[in-house]
């Protein structure tokens, strides 16, 4: 919901519009579309050792699906947690530290997952 002045200026309460809202919805739709192929890949990986997992993930389409899912879910996680922090953490310093920690955590999880997928898919 926007005020008449907000509609004129195209700004929300935080003066940034609804960009995060739409980015979170877009990542949710992307994850919804990717969840079925990811589940198929996960079920294919069940009970396999590292060599079997590397063989399955060595396929370019499967590695790309997994990479897209990891990137999308990390981005969605970052946006969602940032909204929670902005809404419920009231101290400015704690809010800043929490947002920085959230960004660091999400990037770390994404990079570690991407590294693991690339390492398994390259067969190294």
CATH number at residue 99: 1.20.1300
- CA-CA distance, 115 to 79, in Å (whole number)? 22
Residue 7 lies in a domain: no
Task: Give CA separation, 72 vs 28, 44, 58, 109, in Å.
Answer: 8, 21, 21, 12
- CA-CA distance, 30 to 51, in Å (whole number)? 30
Would you state the pLDDT for residue 20? 82
Q: Say how many domains are in the chain.
A: 1
Q: By residue range, what is the domain housing residue 79?
A: 20-122
pLDDT-based confidence at residue 124 (cuts at 50, 70, 90) = low
Residue 52 lies in a domain: yes
pLDDT-based confidence at residue 122 (cuts at 50, 70, 90) = confident
Per-residue pLDDT, averaged over 46-65, amounts to 90
Residue 51 lies in a domain: yes
Residue 27 lies in a domain: yes
Would you state the pLDDT for residue 18? 79
pLDDT at 4 over 70: no
pLDDT at 40 over 90: yes
Residue 3 lies in a domain: no
Residue 4 lies in a domain: no
Model pTM score: 0.80
């Amino acid at each position: 919901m926007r005020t008449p002045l907000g509609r004129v200026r195209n700004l929300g309460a935080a003066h940034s519009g609804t960009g995060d809202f739409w980015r979170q919805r877009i990542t949710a739709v992307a994850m919804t579309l990717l969840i079925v192929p990811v589940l198929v890949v996960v079920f294919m990986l069940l009970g396999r050792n590292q060599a079997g997992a590397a063989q399955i993930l060595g396929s370019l389409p499967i590695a790309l699906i997994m990479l897209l899912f990891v990137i999308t879910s990390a981005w969605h996680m970052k946006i969602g947690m940032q909204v929670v922090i902005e809404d419920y953490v009231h101290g400015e310093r704690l809010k800043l530290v929490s947002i920085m920690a959230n960004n660091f955590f999400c990037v770390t999880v994404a990079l570690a997952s991407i590294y693991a997928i690339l390492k398994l898919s390259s067969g190294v």
